[in-house]
Structure 1
């Protein structure tokens, strides 16, 4: 069944924008959950996902109001901005899915290196772990971090051998969140093209309740 009528196009566009609002809230919530677990809040991809969620939420509200009122200007800006959000969301989602463990380790190591000691201690206490990554290149830094570590698990061992490595804890949570963010974002980014098409179609339809002599 083809949705070609004015009312059908209006209802379809309104329903789609409600879905966009839910997706925006979902993206913000998952990214906030990622940060809540202490997965290095300065990772730019997570910030990008939050930005996409906020913009998608705002543009969905604009689209919903424009669809309810058949507002030509709001629908025009809705189409343009939604298409830009699609491009940005598609790129961020692909980045989330394409990021492997090695790239995540580099991001964590770079961010960990510029953290203050107070921030590291607080993060280790929150995640109940010590040190970032115990590799050949980071053994000295790892030893220093373990000495300064104040996590609850360190009480069980004088040198903190019983404590898990923070890098492994972060990477486990990070991989899960990136897969969720990438998959959800990629799937719904294609529905935004449908939203642009519906907005174009609906914007060019005449409201049967309006003055027949009025311009579109």
Structure 2
């Protein structure tokens, strides 16, 4: 678009170049900034409504949100000031985030029921008793899986369970209840993750393209 404006006077060409080059790379950092803010807001909302009671989970989500927000700010500053060092670090870090997010998203989409059960069992084993009890009360279930492999743990969980269904005499296990929605949730997570991962690789490409261009505010004679 800028190369076709050679017939215009020099001042107009310079003005068009500035408006095109500076505005072009701003969208990927803005997308990263919005994702970071979204993670922070969702984590705070979940804590406020009591959806997730573990402070480690909340702290981890907020930390990821702040990290993405910081990366977005670095990209914005580098784009506005045409700072090649900042744009280089923005490209490298964003590419690493893309690789990680792309791998996790593909894993979510490819996970079968057996792998989901193993993931739930490992996550359940890392939870404290208070977190398990809180989760059982919110989901109205007791224990994870009532099978031979997890029998000892299931008996302990049933003894400590305070879910409303326990007083009714019939409780579904939390593992079965989670698996009912796990496939749908993993597909949504994988799809959203893939979408944002491609916006990140777009940001890397735009930052690389913008970084190799001349700074329109610099002295034109310096490039002759």
TM range (shorter): 0.7 to 0.9
Q: 1:207 to 1:38 in 2, by over 3 A?
A: closer
Which residue of structure 2 lines up, in the alignment, with residue 95 of structure 1?
Answer: 107
Structure 1 unmatched ranges of 5 or more? none
For the residues of structure 2 that align with 1:106 and 1:60, how far apart are their CA atoms? 35
> 1:151 offset after TM fit, Å?
0.8
Q: Does 1:104 align with 2:112?
A: no
1 or 2, which has the higher helix percentage? 2
Which residue of structure 2 lines up, in the alignment, with residue 63 of structure 1?
Answer: 75
Stretch of structure 1 that moved more, 175-184 or 58-67: 175-184
Which residue of structure 2 lines up, in the alignment, with residue 186 of structure 1?
Answer: 194
- Residues 28 and 53 in structure 1, CA contact (< 8 A), matched pair in contact too: yes
Structure with bigger gyration radius: 2
Q: Does 1:137 align with 2:152?
A: no
Q: 1:144 to 1:199 in 2, by over 3 A?
A: closer
Matches within 5 A, 1:1-216: 5-26=17-38, 37=51, 54-113=66-125, 115-157=127-169, 161=170, 163-214=171-222
> 1:210 offset after TM fit, Å?
2.8
Q: 1:100 to 1:119 in 2, by over 3 A?
A: same
- Residues 31 and 177 in structure 1, CA contact (< 8 A), matched pair in contact too: no
For the residues of structure 2 that align with 1:71 and 1:177, how far apart are their CA atoms? 40
- SS of the equivalent of 2:220 reads coil
Q: 1:108 to 1:39 in 2, by over 3 A?
A: farther
Normalised to the residue count of structure 1, the TM-score between the two structures is: 0.76
For the residues of structure 2 that align with 1:174 and 1:112, how far apart are their CA atoms? 15
For the residues of structure 1 that align with 2:180 and 2:106, how far apart are their CA atoms? 19
Normalised to the residue count of structure 2, the TM-score between the two structures is: 0.73
Q: 1:27 to 1:110 in 2, by over 3 A?
A: same
Aligned residues: 206
